[in-house]
Each structure stands twice: as structure tokens, then as C-alpha cells.
Amino acid sequence: MSLKILSKSNKSKSGKTGPSGKSVQPLSLGPLFGKRNVRYGFVSVCITMVVIAAIVLFNVLLTALFKRYPLDIDLTEDQIFEISEETKDFLRDLDQDVNIYVLNTESVFTATSPAEYFLQANEVIHRYAQYSSRVRLEYIDTIRNPNFVSLYPEHDLNISDILIVSGPRSRKLSPQDLFNIRSSYYGSYVSSSKAEQAMTSALLGVTSTKTSLAALISGHGEEDISSLTELLQMNSWEQVSFNPLTEPVPSEASLVILAAPGRDLLPEELSKIDSFLEGGDDRVFLYLASYAQADQTAFPNLDAFLAEWGVAVDSGIVFETNSARIIGNSSFVALADFVESDYSKSVIEQQLYPVLPQSRPLRLLYEGQRYRRTSVLIQASADSGILPMDAPSDWYPGPQDMKADIPLMTLTSSTRNNVEGDIVSSHLVVCGSVLALNQYFLGNVNFGNSTFFLDLLGNLAGREDYIYVQDKTLGFSSMNITMAQIIVLALIFIVLVPLAVMVSGIVVWLRRRHK
């Protein structure tokens, strides 16, 4: 009787009966977690999972922050991966949405040769989205998304092109627009990066409400000044060419350029230029002279026009005798001096010098006459002189050839009242060297040609929304080590460091095992 009661009691406690009629006890984890090593293991696993999750979350947040905000530090000497303060100010004041599309994957774009320059350009492009919430950067793989190109049929878009879009306006930059490319006997190569200048100018072009028109005179065998026109175009100057013999000066033009003509202009052509200068406000005529003009006395009409504005372009070539100023081996290519003025403050503060190679000497005919005032913008050094055009082959400079502070670039400003009684101004700029505006001297980071010309022309034409950024040259140094040093480094990082980590792990495991 007692046995039966015990069996019944056991059934009631278990609540379940197995196939053989025996009671089955429920599984209990209490004894298992009661063991100390199991509890420690469980806690360790939980802590490890929490730490791993925290690290992953931290990396995700940090990656997002680095993409959106400029948290990294550029430790290079010339800050080649950073943008200038002028560009940062422009981005902070930006009040329009701008989309930047790079037509490639980021990995392929940065690996394009020369990789170091494309990597630098890519970092610069990222800065625009980091410094302005108005700018959105996106990489478009045109192989996987070929329809994107058809959205902008006005541009001939290719792989690795950069498209900047703001509302209905857009501007395309090719990879070549990001760099200064020079040619040599061995082929073409990238000499410096102008990625920031190209990007900032493109953003200005699609967001600025004010554009200026530069009109280039043609029809007289003028010199090629494509480097200057490219620089102006990058700073939101539209351009057009015209022949004053058959066409009027474009009414919208604020700048007219005559680049070292091969023959004289007719009086009626110069009359149109004079009417252009006298007929409006903030108008500029830029005349570029050249030593290579076939007969330097065969421009009586142009010389008479310049004389009315108080400037004479003399014959000969300016040379330099101070070896510290001479560039290369030619005394006709040397550092000149900016004369202090409102237009030269920036370049003087940056301690930049102009270079006007093989310049013709200029001369001021008066300081002021009626409503016109003349001034020197750039001059040669105190150790300069003039090579006569008729000098014999064995010519050597004498005291009569030396002349200090020869004017190389001048400005004549006219200030007057128009028919409405408003004060208006116009300006004549004469430069003795058209070569000062070629690619080498405009793009060289050591010279002030680009900065000065943009400051000068922008100020004279009433432009205040331009930004000029110096090109950046990437300098790389290599670390030379011997074979013995290579072996020592290999032993340290391939053998000793892994061995030390392994021994440390074994020691920790043994100590924990015997606790």
C-alpha cells in the first residue's frame, strides 16, 4: 500500500509519464549555471558580443562622420588634400543646392593613372560636400547606369568626367581639367593639380547670377592666349571672338583683349574700341605686346591710340643682370616686381613675383591728363636693361643699355560723368609680354601671374565673385633601405611579433584554465 502511494506521489510531481510508464523529470538549468566556470563563460560571451556590437556601431558612425564632416587632418607641407579658406567661405555662404556627379566608381577613379594626382583630386572633391550641407556628392557607374548620360545630352559625358549641377544649370569637367599637363620629349605628364580651382570655378559658374563677357579681337594674326581664356572661363567669364573690321564690339562685353597682333589695326577699328571704352562703366581693354611682332615700328595707328591713353610700347627686349632673379639660363626670363596698389595686395602678401619673359619696355607719357590717370603695375628690377633690336651679334650690354625699374605693365584709368551725370570708369591695361600668359607661367605655383591677372581684371570689370586658388604640386619622397634592414624588419613583423602574440595567448589560456 505504501509503495503505491509513493508511486502516485511521484507521478503527481513529475506530471508526465514515459512510454514504459515511468515518470520523466523536467530538464533543469539550475545545476548547470550553478557551476562557476559556466557562469564566467556565459558572462564573457555576453561582454564579447556587446563589445563587438559597440565596435561595429562606432565604426559605422565614424565612417558616416568622416564622409560628411572634415574630421581628418592634412599633414602634408602644402596642404595638398585641403581646400583654401576662400573656397570654404564660399561654401559656407552657398544658398543653392548643388549636385556633384563623378562618372565612375570611387575605387576606379582614384586608381586612374597618375594615381597620386587622382587620389588628391578625389580628396579635394570630397571637401565640397563636407564643408557645405548644400553640396551632395555621388559616384555614378555609367556601365551599370547608362541612362544617366542621356539625362544631360548637352554635355558629351565620358567615363571619369565630373558633372556639377544646380537647378537648370550644369557644367562638365573632364579629368584633364583637374590637372596641368605639360609635354616633353618623352611624352605628356601631369605637372601640378588645379582640382580645387576647377571645382570652385565650376560651382561658381552654376550658382553665380553674374557673368562677364570677354571679347577677343581676331583678324590681325593675333597670338594664341588659350591659357588665359581657359583661366577666365574657369572663373565664369564667357568668351566670344570678333573682327572689329566687320563687326561691332559686343555690347555685353566688359573686357576686350588684343593679343600681340601681327599687323596694325585700321583707324575705324580703333574707333570702335575707343567708343567701347567711353560708352560704359567698368570696361577694360587689355593689350598684350610681343617681342616677336615682325616690325616693331609698323603699328602707327595702334601706337597713336595708346599714346592718347598715356602709354608707349618701345622697341627692344628687357633683360636682367641680377643672377638671383634670372630663371633658367636666359637673362630675358626673370622675376620682376609688383608695384604696390589695390590690385597687388594679395600677391605681395603671398610673397609672389611676376614673370614677364622677353618683355618689350613700356613708357608712361604722362601721369594725368584731363580725366585719365596712368600708373605702373609691374616693373623690372633695378638691375635691368634694354637690348636694342638692331644690336649686333657680338653685342654686350654697356652703361647706356642699363635702365632701372623699366615699366612692364601699365594701367590707365578714365573716370568721368556720363550723360546721366553718373560717374563711370574705363581702363586700358598694357602688358609688354604676351608670354606672361602662357600655361607655364600662369600655372606655376611659384609665380603670381594668375592671381594678379584675375585680381586686376576682376576688380577693374566690377567682378567680386571670383576665387583664384594656386595650383598644387605633389612632392613625394622615397625611403631607401638596405637588404639587411629589410631582413631585420621581416624578422620583427613576420616572426617576432606573431610569436609574441601567440605566447601571450597561451599564457593567458593556461592561467584561466587553472583557476
**Are 367 and 262 members of one domain?**
yes
pLDDT in tens, 310-324: 999 999 999 999 999
**Are 419 and 496 members of one domain?**
no
pLDDT of residue 471: 67
Instruction: Say if 217 falls within a structural domain.
Output: yes
Domain with residue 91: its CATH number is 3.40.30.10
Per-residue pLDDT, averaged over 231-256, amounts to: 90
**Are 199 and 327 members of one domain?**
no
Instruction: Say if 19 falls within a structural domain.
Output: no
pLDDT of residue 479: 53
Domain with residue 278: its CATH number is 3.40.50.880
Of 180-184, 212-216, 269-273, 365-369, the least confident: 180-184
Per-residue pLDDT, averaged over 52-57, amounts to: 85
Instruction: Say if 24 falls within a structural domain.
Output: no
pLDDT higher at 189 or 377: 377
Instruction: Indicate the pTM of the whole model.
Output: 0.67
Torsion of CA 79, 82, 85, 87, to 10 degrees: 140
**Are 321 and 278 members of one domain?**
yes
Instruction: Say if 513 falls within a structural domain.
Output: no
pLDDT of residue 48: 81
Label residue 5 by pLDDT band (50, 70, 90): very low
Q: How many domains does the chain have?
A: 4
Measured distance CA(178)–CA(198) in Å, rounded: 6
pLDDT in tens, 367-413: 999 889 999 999 999 999 999 988 888 889 999 999 999 999 999 99
Per-residue pLDDT, averaged over 31-60, amounts to: 74
pLDDT of residue 11: 46
pLDDT of residue 24: 54
pLDDT of residue 76: 66
Which of 209, 224, 252 lies at the terminal end of a domain, its last residue? 209
Cell 596694325: give the residue: 264
Which of 209, 234, 255 lies at the terminal end of a domain, its last residue? 209
Instruction: Say if 445 falls within a structural domain.
Output: yes
pLDDT of residue 505: 81
**Are 183 and 170 members of one domain?**
yes
Give 212's strand partners.
237
Strands 253-259 and 407-417: what pairing? Answer: unpaired
Share of the chain above pLDDT 70, in %: 84
**Are 184 and 312 members of one domain?**
no
The pLDDT mean for the chain works out to 85
**Are 137 and 148 members of one domain?**
yes
Structural element, H or E, at residue 202: helix 195-207
CB 320 within 8 A of CB 382: no
Instruction: Say if 4 falls within a structural domain.
Output: no
3-state SS class at 61: helix
pLDDT in tens, 474-488: 765 545 567 788 888
**Are 345 and 367 members of one domain?**
yes
Of 3-17, 82-96, 489-503, the least confident: 3-17
pLDDT in tens, 199-234: 998 898 888 777 789 999 999 999 999 989 988 887
pLDDT of residue 20: 55
Give 192's strand partners.
180
CB 335 within 8 A of CB 354: yes
Query: Which domain covers residue 501, as residue numbers?
Result: 480-507
Which of 174, 209, 244 lies at the terminal end of a domain, its last residue? 209
pLDDT of residue 22: 55
**Are 244 and 193 members of one domain?**
no
Nearest CA to 124 out of 93, 100, 96, 103 is that of 100
pLDDT surpassing 60 at residue 427:
yes
pLDDT of residue 75: 59
Measured distance CA(344)–CA(451) in Å, rounded: 9
Measured distance CA(275)–CA(280) in Å, rounded: 9
pLDDT surpassing 50 at residue 9:
no
Cα angle, residue 49 at apex, residues 44 and 50 outer, rounded to 5°:
100
**Are 403 and 443 members of one domain?**
yes
Instruction: Say if 494 falls within a structural domain.
Output: yes
**Are 87 and 121 members of one domain?**
yes
Per-residue pLDDT, averaged over 353-367, amounts to: 96
**Are 337 and 420 members of one domain?**
yes
Instruction: Say if 90 falls within a structural domain.
Output: yes
